[in-house]
Homo-oligomer: A and B are copies of this chain.
Amino acid sequence: MKNVRCAKCTKCGREYEALPGITTCACGGILDIEYHYDYIKSVFSRESLARCGDYSMWRYRPFLPVEPDSPPTPLRVGWSPLYRADALAQALGLHTLYIKDDGQNPTASLKDRASAMAVVKAREAGADTIACSSTGNAASSLAGNAAAAGFKTYIFVPSRAPKGKVAQLMIFGATVISVDGSYEDTFELSKAAIDRWGWYNRNAAINPYLSEGKKTVTLEIMEQLHWQVPDYIALSVGDGCTIAGAWKGLKDLYAAGFIDRLPKLISVQAEGCCPLNRAIATGEPWTPMEENTLADSIAVGVPRNADKALAAIRESQGVVVNVSDEEILAAMRLLGRTCGVFGEPAGVTGTAGVRKALELSLIDPDSSVVSVVTGNGLKDTANGIRAAGEPMLVKPEMGALLSAFGARDIRP
């Protein structure tokens, strides 16, 4: 990998060769992949990218830590649509808003970007089995991408994971262990099992390549915006890996001369589980919180990638904002009705945060904002119904229809 310099510990600074099976530093710190930007500049530019016919995350290979001869993964991950959301912007009182619908990925979440990367690195490492713990989306994306590439998977999910995500795992043929406990319990059991059986480790933060896959979301956003940098990029935050990856992509583009300034991040967490935003707001080190939110994908009381995430928010001079479950459900309705985008609760939390940040005057209404929808609402239809209600049930007769409309004051 001529483009990769090393894997460097974010805590002690120790450098490691970027071998495919590396995990964390001897000191316990998270590793970060570092690049030779001069080399990347010599082989990659906006112009060469514009000629690339591969509309998937692999169009950004010069920015990715994979061997030149590593084949891409079978499922088509990335190049999700970026919609200009004028009706929603108007509803929020915001000048310019774009929605990046990353629920439009093969297994219906942004996590496909990380899992596709994990599959490539597992193959480079010579593994045949991959394991992870997850609140759901990392799991289903790993199961799907691994199945398509011929890998076995062992997957640990907390028993609260929504049915849609569990159905995906089972269909993809993973060995699924539903853990009767919290996400933290689930993570610890997966760690013990991975240590015991030597499976390739796709646990976020532990595996430094995953955020490199996730960063393709901001590489795409910037290319889709024709390199016009927005003022803010809003993301829901749980484990911290996604926002860390998003920031890494932006910094890569800046370092390689693809963009000439950096946007600020808007880090959105649920009020019932916001350890990272609390750390930023108080200036204190982060401490664990309970996991009290219906947004299961970001209900992470002990974030695994706190260091990278906090650094990203601070470096970008970002904004932190917490939203209630009611505000999350309202954002589901708003996105559906104005954009035709159905996001899962954690998926729309970023958009809920944009609304809240405007209400709290944390951002200027004249700003331009990109809000990333990180997962599809079909993964969690129970909360979809909770957000939007049940339909009217009528007998198949016009009289019944007229009285149902009358009772609801519907006047066609």
Contacts and interface: CB of A to CB of B under 8 A. Distances in A.
Given A83-B74, A150-B87, A164 B381 contact: yes
Nearest to A189: B396
A66 to B, nearest CB: 19
A193 B398 contact: yes
A180 interface: yes
A332 interface: yes
A384 B170 contact: yes
Given A164-B378, A171-B332, A196-B398, A412 B154 contact: yes
A395 interface: yes
A288 interface: no
A251 interface: no
Interface in A365-392: 376-379, 381-382, 384-385, 387-392
A404 B177 contact: yes
Contacts of A47: none
Contacts of A181: 395-396
A358 interface: no
Contacts of A26: none
A129 to B, nearest CB: 7
Given A55-B55, A81-B75, A164-B381, A340 B172 contact: yes
Contacts of A186: 396
Interface string A186-230: 101100110011010000000000000000000000000000000
A411 to B, nearest CB: 10
A76 interface: yes
A328 B262 CA distance: 50
A284 B1 CA distance: 65
Contact of A172 (B104, B164, B176, B336): B336
A51 B332 CA distance: 37
A112 to B, nearest CB: 10
Contact of A340 (B106, B339, B340): B106
Interface in A294-320: none
A391 B108 contact: no
A197 B376 contact: no
B339 A392 contact: no
A125 interface: no
A36 interface: no
Nearest to A338: B147
B178 A397 contact: no
Interface in A120-144: 129, 143-144
Nearest to A380: B167
Contacts of A398: 189, 192-193, 196
A410 interface: yes
Contacts of A104: 76, 104, 106
A385 B163 CA distance: 8
Contacts of A143: 340
11 contacts: A74-B340, A81-B106, A108-B378, A147-B336, A147-B339, A170-B390, A170-B391, A171-B337, A177-B404, A188-B396, A378-B378
Interface of A: 55, 74-76, 81, 83, 87, 101, 104, 106-108, 129, 143-150, 154, 157, 159, 163-164, 166-173, 175-181, 185-186, 188-189, 192-193, 196-197, 199, 332-333, 336-342, 376-379, 381-382, 384-385, 387-398, 401, 404, 410, 412
Given A147-B337, A167-B388, A171-B388, 7 more contacts: A55-B55, A81-B106, A101-B106, A166-B385, A167-B385, A170-B391, A180-B396
